[in-house]
Structure 1
Amino acid sequence: MSAKKKTLKARKKSWRSGFGPSEVIQRVRPTESFEYLLNPHKGTTTFQRFNGDPIYPGLRWSDSEGPTAFKPFRGDPRKLHNDRYPDTTISYCRWVWSVIEPEKGKYRWDIIDGALKAAQERGQTLQARLQPTAGRAPYPDWFWKSGATKCKPDDHHPDFNCRAYIVHWTDVIRAFGRRFDGHPNLESFDVAYAGGCGETGGNSTPQTAEQLVDAYLESFKKTQLLGMLGTHGCKYAKAKGVNIGWRADCFGDMRRGKYPSVPTGLNWNHMYDAYPKEIWQCGLEDAWKTAPVTFETCWTVGYWYRQHWDVDWILDFGLRNHCSVFMPKSSYIPKQWEKKIEEFNKRLGYRFVLRQLTLPLEAKRGARFKADVSLENNGVAPLYRPYKLALRFRQDSRREIVRFKADIRRWLPGTIWFSERLPLPKTLRKGEVKIDLGIVDAADRPVVRFAMKELLGDGWHPMTSMDVEK
């Protein structure tokens, strides 16, 4: 036997020794991992701060004080950890109108730029909101001087139906959209068009709400919009056929006070009275299939604990309604509930488990080969980004990436199976080639981890080998 044939025989034996001579396919069954995965576009968010920043003290937080100064970070974001709070891949920040537009037409876009950069440096994307006001935060002085009117002389808010509000608020939203729509690190933008924190719609009439919401719909064609659950504006956007996500901002409200007019414990609260009804009234019962759901805590998780609310029921409600993002206000998670919140985070959004990848043992370079993929989404929602599943072929220093055509956004919770014929790159030489698998972005960088133990340092999952034939 020639030296060349001996080398080829040894190479084949090194990885094909378990296959009989008549076998032509191989099955790869990775080892499932049950760890918490820091995958993008899902999980817990920080609030008005970024990974590694101190959380709020006690049970406090601020809806009105979004960050305006940003410390540079040049370390490895994967080494950042949050004390008494989950590690995250999303930051959520809000700014009141008077901070972003202190003078008419003069926008503090440097603040938004800084937040986007800070989030990116800390391994996060940014969910953002511009809000007319929050609490007693003032409206811009110039806005009142422009002719804005109030419903009552002593009211903090304007009449949201007055022409000055409609014109000036839509101006700032359109300006934001012109500058930031489609920014790669902008996760989503809230349709917070009127009322306190922009969440309720205030006293806006249906006609006014539609005018205000149209400014968002016309200004954001790429960035995901999130409607405020229960508002006419949210219902209107959905009815127009817009692929709008939604957020609810009093998740966990199980208040059971003593009221003289109803039996104890049977009073109104968001979890029983508002959310089930509003999801259906706004036509959002199936919206989760194509756009994300965010739940923000009513008060904080620490407050829930002090009130002895049923955290298991609360978290299960979030999962049943296909939540992708959880916003507990960067307030501490009680130690007694840390494991519950971690398990909740694991199931938020998507969680892909590869059960089997079937490939041929060998293929001709330049020819197509069949690849069967069997996986599960053990989360409660799909991944809404147009990433692609891909195979990477490694041979010596050569790296070649081949993408599947499958639309990942259609991987709803449950079992997924598909088969494709993929080309074996012509650049490969004859002999063994190692194969890795990953979910990649437009630049072919692996961005999403499967729940499997096999993982390389560069984010790819090692699968198997294949023999390249001429």
Structure 2
Amino acid sequence: MRKLILLIRLTLILLLATELIASKPLHHTELPTLLQVHPPESQSVLNNPYMGLAPSADHGPYEQPIRLVYGVVTWAELEPSKNHYNFEAMEKRLHFDEWQSRGVQVILRLVLDYSSSDQHKDIPDWLYNEIQGDGIWYDEDIGKGFSPNYSNPTLIENHRLLLKKLGERYDHDPRIAFLALGSIGHWGEWHTFQDDHLVIPFPKLAVSDLYVHHYLDAFPDKKLLMRRPHPVVSQYGMGLYNDMFGVARSTYDFKDWYEKGYTSSLAGTDIPPMPDFWKYGPSGGEFGNADTVLEQLKSDHMEAVLQQTRDTHVSWMGATTIAEQKFPAEEQANLDEFLKTMGYRFTIPDATYPEKIRQGGLLSLHMTIANHGVAPFYDPWPFELSLVDASGRVATQLNTQQDIRSWLPGEHSLQEFLPVPQNLPAGTYSLCVALLDPETKQPGIDFAMEGRRTDGRYELGKLEILQ
């Protein structure tokens, strides 16, 4: 296989030289000299968008680097009286604007039943009255609360209206990263208490899918994640979250669910496998036992956490107390390995381009993109090529047609062409690459390699522009 890859690369280099000669030769007897560069790879932790630790949005700032925070909101908080929405107060409690100023986005989860030590309900009083108390009050080992009857038509319709308002406000809001679909079950984890003496009904698939479609209709431009791998996940390219990450048995049960399929006693049906869900929607969740993970940071058992990260293609993880702390060197090194393992991690092992090209020519660039992470990037951010002059000014640039969502873990061979303007002054230029944030139009993702400029672009090497 390696010999075949080398043969393909040599063929591409020869084709590249042929194209250059055909398009605009330097001289009728002169072959272009091709440069092959190998940007050094960096081993640093990359604090990149849509990945990493995601501690609570209502605390902080945090000691560890973050680009995500996790915000849980109840229906009672959002809509205390019918058709009156408490968005501003919720945003203030979860520090939306402060996080935005720090380049951090919120993962939002709406819950209807958040079990706690106090007897309470998490749907508003007006809704409780409209459904005539249809549900079950409980006081069990999991906590106390009220579980509404999720099949109640009035509840379903009001949920649709609430999601419609949420979508109108937040679907295009860059402060929001993802929506975790938490509307059903205790803590929004898509399970209800089931015991010999008490069975709290869980909705059948046809009903729970109605709640999912409320999110799909309200948030067509946001990535959505579910706790359970119901068929709707693969049908609409959604992600999954595992709220028991770090607990090996629970995590590998979760992995078996989506890789092999299973019979859901809660939903009352067979759930088909969806082993490739992570290629289209992110995998995340929360540590099932943060204290255990803190202990693992101090030992060689951290490898088990890293393996769970690789096996379930984790991009982000709610980390409770971990992000709050500074750690001794050995523990920090273990945490850094975790941060470097999850999500995407792009680098360019090699690139080939001409050493010199004339004004008005077509610069041909072949490169290998490597993703050393465990997941792709899930949004179609532009991949930019540019020439930067000696003063640091971008002299010309091109947003390529590359779909970076296809850069799955592994290596990818790319061929791109950058037009050189006829009026570009002769001289030495830096050939640069960047991944642009569509909101700012500026470089927004760090590569795992050396050569980062102050503007966020990465220099592959130099070349000469000739008259």
> Which TM-score band applies after superposition, normalised by the shorter structure?
0.7 to 0.9
Specify whether residues 358 and 272 from structure 1 end up closer, same or farther in structure 2 by C-alpha distance, changes over 3 A only.
closer
Structure 2 residue 458 is matched with structure 1 residue 461 = yes
Once residues 287 and 208 of structure 1 are traced to their aligned partners in structure 2, the CA distance between those partners, rounded to angstroms, is 22
Structure 2 residue 287 is matched with structure 1 residue 297 = yes
Specify whether residues 392 and 157 from structure 1 end up closer, same or farther in structure 2 by C-alpha distance, changes over 3 A only.
same
Normalising by the residue count of structure 1, what TM-score does the alignment of the two structures yield?
0.78
Letter in 2 for 1:235: H
Specify whether residues 459 and 173 from structure 1 end up closer, same or farther in structure 2 by C-alpha distance, changes over 3 A only.
same
Letter in 2 for 1:146: E
Letter in 2 for 1:237: V
Letter in 1 for 2:401: K
Once residues 182 and 109 of structure 1 are traced to their aligned partners in structure 2, the CA distance between those partners, rounded to angstroms, is 15
Once residues 423 and 272 of structure 1 are traced to their aligned partners in structure 2, the CA distance between those partners, rounded to angstroms, is 50
Contact 2:258 2:275 in 1 (8 A): no
Structure 2 residue 145 is matched with structure 1 residue 145 = no
Structure 2 residue 441 is matched with structure 1 residue 451 = no
> What SS class does the counterpart of residue 444 from structure 2 fall into?
strand
Gaps of 5+ in 1: 1-20, 54-81, 255-268
- Following superposition, the deviation at residue 152 of structure 1 comes to 4.2
Q: Which residue of 2 aligns with 1:320?
A: 311
Specify whether residues 193 and 357 from structure 1 end up closer, same or farther in structure 2 by C-alpha distance, changes over 3 A only.
same
Q: Which residue of 1 aligns with 2:71?
A: 93
Match of 1:236 among 231, 236, 241: 231
Specify whether residues 297 and 237 from structure 1 end up closer, same or farther in structure 2 by C-alpha distance, changes over 3 A only.
same
Gaps of 5+ in 2: 1-29, 139-144, 193-201, 262-270
Contact 1:319 1:380 in 2 (8 A): yes
- Following superposition, the deviation at residue 133 of structure 1 comes to 2.7
Letter in 2 for 1:324: S
Once residues 87 and 318 of structure 1 are traced to their aligned partners in structure 2, the CA distance between those partners, rounded to angstroms, is 18
CA displacement 1:170-194 (0-9 Å, x = unmatched): 2211210121113223210012221
Contact 2:435 2:443 in 1 (8 A): yes
> What SS class does the counterpart of residue 133 from structure 2 fall into?
coil
- Following superposition, the deviation at residue 366 of structure 1 comes to 3.0
Contact 2:77 2:90 in 1 (8 A): no
- Following superposition, the deviation at residue 88 of structure 1 comes to 0.9
- Following superposition, the deviation at residue 448 of structure 1 comes to 0.9
Letter in 1 for 2:97: K
> What SS class does the counterpart of residue 353 from structure 1 fall into?
strand
Contact 2:242 2:251 in 1 (8 A): no
CA displacement 1:5-26 (0-9 Å, x = unmatched): xxxxxxxxxxxxxxxx865211
What's the C-alpha RMSD, in Å, of the aligned pairs? 2.6
Q: Which residue of 2 aligns with 1:403?
A: 399
- Following superposition, the deviation at residue 274 of structure 1 comes to 4.5
Runs of 4+, deviation exceeding 6 Å: 306-309
Contact 1:47 1:93 in 2 (8 A): yes
Q: Which residue of 2 aligns with 1:437?
A: 433
Once residues 91 and 148 of structure 1 are traced to their aligned partners in structure 2, the CA distance between those partners, rounded to angstroms, is 36
CA displacement 1:398-434 (0-9 Å, x = unmatched): 4222222221111111111111222113441122223
Once residues 309 and 107 of structure 2 are traced to their aligned partners in structure 1, the CA distance between those partners, rounded to angstroms, is 19
Contact 1:193 1:201 in 2 (8 A): no
Match of 1:352 among 330, 346, 349: 346
Q: Which residue of 1 aligns with 2:211?
A: 212
Contact 1:395 1:428 in 2 (8 A): no
- Following superposition, the deviation at residue 222 of structure 1 comes to 0.4
Q: Which residue of 1 aligns with 2:267?
A: none
Specify whether residues 153 and 138 from structure 1 end up closer, same or farther in structure 2 by C-alpha distance, changes over 3 A only.
closer
Structure 2 residue 284 is matched with structure 1 residue 287 = no
Contact 2:309 2:341 in 1 (8 A): no
Normalising by the residue count of structure 2, what TM-score does the alignment of the two structures yield?
0.79
Once residues 125 and 351 of structure 1 are traced to their aligned partners in structure 2, the CA distance between those partners, rounded to angstroms, is 19
Q: Which residue of 2 aligns with 1:258?
A: none
Specify whether residues 421 and 339 from structure 1 end up closer, same or farther in structure 2 by C-alpha distance, changes over 3 A only.
same
* 1:125-144 → structure 2 map (5 Å cutoff): 125-136=105-116, 138-139=121-122, 140-144=124-128
Structure 2 residue 121 is matched with structure 1 residue 121 = no
Once residues 351 and 320 of structure 2 are traced to their aligned partners in structure 1, the CA distance between those partners, rounded to angstroms, is 40
CA displacement 1:338-360 (0-9 Å, x = unmatched): 32221011021111121112111
Once residues 356 and 223 of structure 1 are traced to their aligned partners in structure 2, the CA distance between those partners, rounded to angstroms, is 34
Letter in 1 for 2:316: V
Specify whether residues 128 and 367 from structure 1 end up closer, same or farther in structure 2 by C-alpha distance, changes over 3 A only.
same
> What SS class does the counterpart of residue 149 from structure 2 fall into?
coil
Letter in 2 for 1:99: E
Report how many aligned residue pairs link the two structures: 400
- Following superposition, the deviation at residue 107 of structure 1 comes to 0.9
Q: Which shifted more, 278-287 or 322-331?
A: 278-287
Once residues 253 and 145 of structure 1 are traced to their aligned partners in structure 2, the CA distance between those partners, rounded to angstroms, is 40
Contact 2:387 2:429 in 1 (8 A): yes
Letter in 1 for 2:174: P
Match of 2:182 among 192, 201, 208: 192
Once residues 311 and 379 of structure 1 are traced to their aligned partners in structure 2, the CA distance between those partners, rounded to angstroms, is 17
Once residues 153 and 225 of structure 1 are traced to their aligned partners in structure 2, the CA distance between those partners, rounded to angstroms, is 29
Contact 2:32 2:354 in 1 (8 A): no
Specify whether residues 274 and 29 from structure 1 end up closer, same or farther in structure 2 by C-alpha distance, changes over 3 A only.
closer
> What SS class does the counterpart of residue 260 from structure 2 fall into?
helix
Contact 1:148 1:163 in 2 (8 A): no
Contact 2:163 2:214 in 1 (8 A): yes
